Each structure stands twice: as structure tokens, then as C-alpha cells.
Amino acid sequence: MTALTLFPAVDIQNGQAVQLTQGLAGSEKVFGDPLTAALRWQDAGAEWLHLVDLDAAFGRGSNAELIAAIIERLSLKVELSGGLRDDAALQRALATGCRRVNIGTAALENPEWCERAIVEHGDRIGIAIDVKGSRLAARGWVREGGDWAEAIDRLSAAGCATFVVTDVKSDGMLSGPNLDLLRQVATRTDAQVIASGGIARLDDLRALRELVPLGVTGAIIGTALYVGNFTLPDALAVACGQPG
């Protein structure tokens, strides 16, 4: 069994690092300067960072300049999400030097455009699959789309290399990841699956690591790190299968 890759999250709203509960606007806890947060996770040993522009995701602004400046200061690999719905936004995001961008809402509202992006940019494109029950959530999670399985099938056929899967009900709730959903997604695609939402304890990472052979290769961690449920070095040790 190989290691589970961890993605500490830095979600940016109004220029500040925040964490939302179930993706709801107004539920945020503010954690200060996002560059400070990003450098903290880099210094603690992270190889990847999950960076999100929440204002762009909700269609109420952009932190593009701040995000570009943050990425320029980092030496780790960055996965960038939030508001990538057209060519201009996609090109701006790719130009920051991030390793991968995650397309969410656009994959639901404009699948043909999303498929073209996958063909053109290969594994630099990931797809964010945000799930409420059996349905997809869209545009800042305030609307519902189609069946998630149909989206996985179609975008896998287009060559998508990475799906970031969020159970909206568990996001920010520290209630544990939705292991059943992740298993279901992993069995439908040969792409790597990154788990997002609900991770609260080191035992959650141990459970996710058991899914690595199925294709669940990574996990995004947000609230649990910020509130101190565990440290990133301890999480990285568990993700590599070290005892403790």
C-alpha cells in the first residue's frame, strides 16, 4: 500500500483564510493571513496545498492577485479551485504556476467545455465532484445538478485524471469522511480520487488509507488542522502508514 497524499486547505474569502461549515456562506471561521497559513503547512512538511478562492466560487469577487502572489512564494505543489467557469479564468489560474486546477460548477453547467479543457491540459485539470445525497451540488453549493455517477462516467471517458470528491453534508463538520461514497466513486473510475470533507481525527486518515488500493489516493484537511485536532506532521506520519 502506498502513502495517502495530504492536501492542507487554505480557503480564501475577503483576503482572509477561512473555513466554512457545509460550504455555507456566513458560517465561516476566520484564521488570518492566507500566506501565513500556506507557509505554515509548507514548513510542516506538506508536499501539496489545496488553495480555494471562495469569493470566485460564490460569484461575488476574486482573490486572483492574492492567490498568484501566494503561489509565487511557495515551493510545494498547489491545487487551485474556485470560480473556474470560462477560458479566461482557467488560463489565469494555470498561469499562476499551480500544479493543478479543479473545475467544479463548469463541469456541471458546461460539460463540453470541461471535456475540452481536459483534452488540452491533461492532468493539470481536476474535477471537483461535490455531492449532496445522490445529487451534484453546484455554484458554491447553493444549487443542485444531476446524478454524480453520470458526471464521473462522462468525465472519466474524456480522460479526467483526478476527481476531488466532497460530501457537502460532512464538510467542515468534523464528522468523518463518507467512506461509502468514496468507495463508490473509486469503483467507477480509473482516475485518482481525493477525499474532501469531514476529516476530524487521525483514525479518519487511517480509514482513508485503507482505500488507497481502490484509487482514493489523497485527502484534503481543513478545519481539523486549524482547530488543532492533530498536527500536520502527525497526519503525514499516519498517511505514510507509520504507527502512532
Q: How many Å is the Cα radius of gyration of the chain?
A: 16
In a domain, 156, yes or no: yes
Which of 127, 130, 116 is CA-nearest to residue 166?
A: 130
Domain count, the chain: 1
Q: Which of 53, 55, 130, 204 is catalytic?
A: 130
In a domain, 26, yes or no: yes
In a domain, 244, yes or no: no
Q: Based on the residue annotation, tell me whether 171 is a catalytic residue of this protein.
A: no
Which of 216, 185, 194, 120 is CA-nearest to residue 159?
A: 120
Q: Based on the residue annotation, tell me whether 130 is a catalytic residue of this protein.
A: yes
- Find the CATH number of the domain harbouring 171: 3.20.20.70
Q: Which of 11, 53, 171, 204 is catalytic?
A: 11
Return mean pLDDT, the chain.
90
In a domain, 150, yes or no: yes
Q: How far is CA 151 from CA 82, 137, 196, 214, in A?
A: 19, 12, 18, 19
Phi/psi of residue 66, nearest 5 degrees: -65, -45
The pTM is what? 0.92
User: What secondary structure letter does DSSP report for 113?
Assistant: H
In a domain, 234, yes or no: yes
Residue 62 belongs to what domain range? 5-239
pLDDT value, residue 101: 97
Each residue's pLDDT tens digit, 16-52: 999 887 667 677 788 899 999 999 999 999 999 999 9
